[in-house]
Amino acid sequence: MELRQAPAPRLSGPRDVLLRVDTLGVCGSDIHYYKQGTIGSGQATFPQLLGHELAATVVEAGAEVQSLHPGQRVAVDPLVACGECDQCRAGRKHTCRKQQFLGNPGQLPGALVEYLVMPAACCSPVPDSLNDDQAALVEPLSIGVYAAQLAQLKPGARVGIVGSGPIGLCTLLAVRAQAQASVYATDLVDERLAVARACGAAWTGNPRREDVVAAVRRLEPLGMDAVFECAGEQEAIDQSLELLKPGGTLLIVGIPELDRISMNINLMRRNELRIINVRRQNECVERAIELIAGGRVDVRPLITHHFRLEETARAFELVSARRDGVVKAIIRISPEK
Ligand SMILES: [Zn+2]
Ligand SMILES: [Zn+2]
């Protein structure tokens, strides 16, 4: 990890904005690139600028930008879609065939910088009731909001969250807000379970210390309506399938470190389980802002650590080692306002 001086980017396109980056959240996917150098076929090569969970302030707006003005605080959708391919035309920007994502190898440089140029269409104004830390949490929360939408939960549904890292916790917050669901959450780190309870989980358990499937079954003998797998690990997939009721839905939100994972096909067939894969989010940023601004979701329990830009390496090491009860580490980039 290295801090470098570089010339500030200049605004060129009429529909772009020049942003000052205020805060940036360290994401699990940044850590995948930091530790393994890859996610699936995405291969990072040094120097690779990471980061895509940002709160920013508009410094300058292109001539055709009407929705934003200098001084406006925004949350940023890190995906730049082409707007023209079959996926974009079908309303699936998140699987755009020519997508460019902040901090993804071979796509756009990351947001771990002081200044950044983005299309205005990627920037959503945030009200002053959200501070910069909350605004940086909009991006991961939008993933939880999207996953919860895909599950089509009925009010009061029974829901499992397997893996209570930032994305698992954001999903927990979203399913609580959208369906008043009863949530059963697991994680290998006890501090994360405490945060899950603060976020409204009805029950939490650590698979290192107990058989979480049996424990949930004792409380909910019929099983879960939906389980969100947010760990990306074989054991978590196995537990998720076993927690589901017949006809239940597994949502795969976690990013596995391996390219292949096995699933118990007999269990899946006999119980006619449905599987939904979740790719980031689609058009859920505004909804995420509304949920935080309206007080229906409180992301603050997730924010456990703060670092300055010069301390970025320490932030990545901490998140990578899951030490010190870290959930979301926020890097402050612009001077505190
Ligand atoms: Zn992320
Ligand atoms: Zn496209």
pLDDT at 42: 77
* pLDDT exceeds cutoff 80 at 40: no
CA 99 to centroid of ligand 2, rounded, Å: 6
How confident is the model over 19-30, as a mean pLDDT? 96
At 281-307, the pLDDT tens digits run 999 999 999 999 999 999 999 999 999
How confident is the model over 252-272, as a mean pLDDT? 92
CA 272 to centroid of ligand 1, rounded, Å: 31
Task: Name the packing angle between helices 190-198 and 166-179 (round to 10°).
Answer: 20
CA 84 to centroid of ligand 2, rounded, Å: 5
How confident is the model over 51-57, as a mean pLDDT? 98
CA 282 to centroid of ligand 2, rounded, Å: 13
CA 103 to centroid of ligand 1, rounded, Å: 10
Q: What angle do CA 112, 113, 118 make, to 5 degrees?
A: 95
At 155-175, the pLDDT tens digits run 999 999 999 999 999 999 999
Are 251 and 276 spatial neighbours (Cβ–Cβ below 8 Å)?
yes
How confident is the model over 256-284, as a mean pLDDT? 94
* pLDDT exceeds cutoff 90 at 257: no
Ligand nearest to the CA of 87: 2
* pLDDT exceeds cutoff 80 at 44: yes
Task: Give, in order, the Cα–Cα distances in Å from 204 to each of 169, 197, 268.
Answer: 12, 7, 25
CA 100 to centroid of ligand 2, rounded, Å: 10
Ligand nearest to the CA of 280: 1
Confidence of residue 37 (pLDDT cuts 50, 70, 90): confident
How confident is the model over 27-46, as a mean pLDDT? 85
Share of the chain above pLDDT 70, in %: 100
Residues 134, 153: Cα–Cα separation, whole Å: 26
For the chain, the farthest-separated pair of C-alpha atoms sits apart, in whole angstroms, at 62
At a CB cut-off of 8 Å and minimum separation 6, what does 152 contact? none
First to last CA, the chain: 27
* pLDDT exceeds cutoff 90 at 335: no
Ligand nearest to the CA of 86: 2
Mean confidence (pLDDT) of the chain:
96
CA 101 to centroid of ligand 2, rounded, Å: 12
pLDDT at 337: 65
